[in-house]
C-alpha cells in the first residue's frame, strides 16, 4: 500500500470534521495521515487491534472526541492529559487497569465510558456503569476528580520522599562533617599531647629535703628568655635558699625556748628538776609543730585534688597534663617550704632540748656553788 493510496483512503474516511478509521484491523495509529488534517475534531479508531497509542498522538490537541472502544489497549500514554480540549472519550472494552495521572488535566471531559475494562477497584468504582449520557458524564467527573486526588497524593508522597532523601543527605553530610571535625580535633589533640610529652615529661628529680616526689613533673629548662610563656632557667631550690635561715631559726629557737622554760619554771632549782621542765616544754612545743605539720600536709593534699578535679572537669586538650606539670612545680616548692620550716623548727627545738638542758644544768650548778 503506497503513501498516495493511503492518503486517498484516509481522505475517503473524512466526513466534515470527523475521521472514521474503525473496522480496519489497525495495529498502529496512522499518525502521519491523521496529523495532516488539522480540521478533524473527532476521531473514531474503534474496533481495531491497537495495543498502545503513540505518544505523538497527544499532539493532536485540537481533538474534542476520540473513540477507542473495542481495542486491546493495556495502557494510555503518560502525557494523555495534553489533550486538554477533549470532551468525549470512549474506552469501552479494552485491557486497561489504570489511567495515567495526567488524566486529571482533562477538565473539559463530559463523557467517559470505561466499561468492560479490568480496572483497579477504586477506579472502577469511580467510573461506574456508563449506560446513558448522564451516567457517562458523572463517570467523567468522578474519574477526573479521582485522578486529581491520586496525583496530589502521589506528589505529596514524592515530595515527602524527596524531603526525606534530602534530610538523609544533609544528616549524612553533617555526620561526615562531624566525623571529619572529630578526627581533626583528635589529630590536633594528639599533636598537642605529643608536644606536651616532649616538652614537659622529664624524670622527677629528688628534692633536697629527702621526701618522696609528689608524682608530678617539672617543665624543662629553656634559655629563651624572650618568651613569656616558657619557664625561665632553673633556680636554686627553696630548701637551699632556706638553709642560711635555718641557723637563725635554731639560734632564735634556743633563746626563746630557754626564756620560756625559765618563765614557766616549776619546782626547785635542781638539775633533775631542770631536765623535767625542759622536757615538758619541749614536748608541748613539739606537739604544736606536729599539729601545724598535719595542717600543712592536709592543705597540700586538698589543693592537689582540687586542681586535678578541675582539670578533668574542663576536659580541655592538654589541660590535665599542663595542670599536673604546673601544679607539680608550685605544690612541690610549697611542700618543700612547709617541710623545710617544720624540719628547721624541729631541729631547733631538738637542739634546745640538748643544749638548753646542758646550759640550765650548768647555770644551776653555778648558782648552787
pLDDT tens track for 35-49: 888 889 999 999 999
pLDDT tens track for 340-362: 666 766 666 666 666 666 666 66
Q: How far is CA 75 from CA 42, 80, 146, 272, in A?
A: 21, 10, 17, 130
pLDDT: which is higher, 248 or 100: 100
Alpha helix stretches (DSSP H) within the chain:
3-12, 31-35, 121-127, 133-200, 238-263, 271-314, 319-351, 357-368
Average pLDDT taken over every residue of the chain: 76
pLDDT category, 211, cuts 50, 70, 90?
very low
pLDDT tens track for 15-24: 889 999 999 9
pLDDT: which is higher, 257 or 229: 257
Of 304, 289, 294, 264, which is closest to residue 350 (Cα–Cα)?
Answer: 289
> Position of cell 483497579?
120
| Residue 237 φ then ψ, to 5° | -65, 165
Return the number of other C-beta atoms located less than 10 Å from residue 283's C-beta.
Answer: 11
Q: How far is CA 195 from CA 71, 187, 202, 319, in A?
A: 84, 12, 13, 13
Which residues in 70-90 are b (16+ Cβ under 10 Å) and which e? bbebebbbeebbbbebbbbbb
Using DSSP, state whether 17 is helix, strand or coil.
coil
Would you state the pLDDT for residue 369?
A: 60
Q: Are 81 and 103 in contact (CB under 8 A)?
A: yes
Of 215, 208, 225, which is closest to residue 325 (Cα–Cα)?
Answer: 215
Q: Are 339 and 209 in contact (CB under 8 A)?
A: yes
Would you state the pLDDT for residue 318?
A: 57
pLDDT tens track for 157-198: 999 999 999 999 999 998 989 899 988 889 888 888 888 877
Cα-Cα-Cα-Cα torsion 75, 121, 43, 26, nearest 10 degrees, comes to: 50
- All 3 cell numbers of residue 92? 469501552
The bridge status of strand 65-67 relative to strand 111-113 is: unpaired
**71-100 average pLDDT score:** 94
> Position of cell 495509529?
29
CA distance 203 to 201: 7
pLDDT category, 58, cuts 50, 70, 90?
very high
- As a whole number of Å, the CA-based R_g of the chain is 55
Q: Are 142 and 119 in contact (CB under 8 A)?
A: no
Amino acid at each position: 500500500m503506497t503513501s498516495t493510496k493511503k492518503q486517498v483512503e484516509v481522505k475517503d474516511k473524512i466526513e466534515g470534521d470527523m475521521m472514521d478509521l474503525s473496522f480496519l484491523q489497525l495495529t498502529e495509529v496512522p499518525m502521519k495521515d491523521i496529523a495532516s488534517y488539522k480540521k478533524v475534531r473527532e476521531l473514531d479508531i474503534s474496533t481495531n487491534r491497537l495495543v498502545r497509542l503513540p505518544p505523538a498522538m497527544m499532539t493532536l490537541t485540537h481533538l474534542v472526541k476520540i473513540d477507542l472502544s473495542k481495542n486491546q489497549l493495556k495502557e494510555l500514554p503518560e502525557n494523555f492529559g495534553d489533550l486538554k480540549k477533549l470532551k468525549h472519550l470512549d474506552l469501552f472494552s479494552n485491557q486497561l487497569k489504570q489511567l495515567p495521572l495526567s488524566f486529571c488535566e482533562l477538565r473539559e471531559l463530559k463523557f467517559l465510558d470505561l466499561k468492560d475494562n479490568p480496572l483497579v477497584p477504586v477506579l472502577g468504582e469511580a467510573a461506574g456503569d456508563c449506560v446513558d449520557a448522564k451516567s457517562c458524564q458523572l463517570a467523567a467527573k468522578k474519574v477526573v476528580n479521582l485522578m486529581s486526588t491520586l496525583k496530589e497524593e502521589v506528589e505529596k508522597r514524592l515530595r515527602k520522599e524527596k524531603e526525606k532523601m534530602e534530610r538523609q543527605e544533609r544528616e549524612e553530610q553533617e555526620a561526615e562533617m562531624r566525623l571529619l571535625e572529630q578526627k581533626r580535633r583528635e589529630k590536633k589533640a594528639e599533636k598537642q599531647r605529643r608536644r606536651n610529652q616532649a616538652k614537659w615529661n622529664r624524670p622527677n628529680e629528688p628534692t633536697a629535703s629527702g621526701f618522696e616526689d609528689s608524682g608530678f613533673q617539672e617543665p624543662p629548662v629553656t634559655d629563651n628568655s624572650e618568651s613569656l610563656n616558657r619557664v625561665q632557667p632553673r633556680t636554686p631550690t627553696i630548701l637551699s635558699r632556706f638553709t642560711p635561715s635555718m641557723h637563725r631559726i635554731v639560734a632564735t629557737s634556743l633563746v626563746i625556748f630557754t626564756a620560756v622554760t625559765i618563765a614557766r619554771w616549776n619546782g626547785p632549782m635542781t638539775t633533775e628538776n631542770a631536765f623535767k621542765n625542759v622536757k615538758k616544754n619541749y614536748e608541748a612545743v613539739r606537739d604544736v609543730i606536729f599539729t601545724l605539720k598535719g595542717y600543712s600536709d592536709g592543705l597540700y593534699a586538698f589543693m592537689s585534688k582540687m586542681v586535678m578535679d578541675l582539670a578533668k572537669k574542663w576536659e580541655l586538650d592538654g589541660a590535665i597534663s599542663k595542670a599536673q606539670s604546673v601544679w607539680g612545680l608550685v605544690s612541690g616548692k610549697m611542700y618543700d617550704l612547709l617541710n623545710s620550716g617544720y624540719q628547721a623548727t624541729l631541729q631547733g627545738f631538738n637542739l634546745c632540748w640538748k643544749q638548753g638542758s646542758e646550759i640550765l644544768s650548768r647555770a644551776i650548778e653555778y648558782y648552787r656553788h
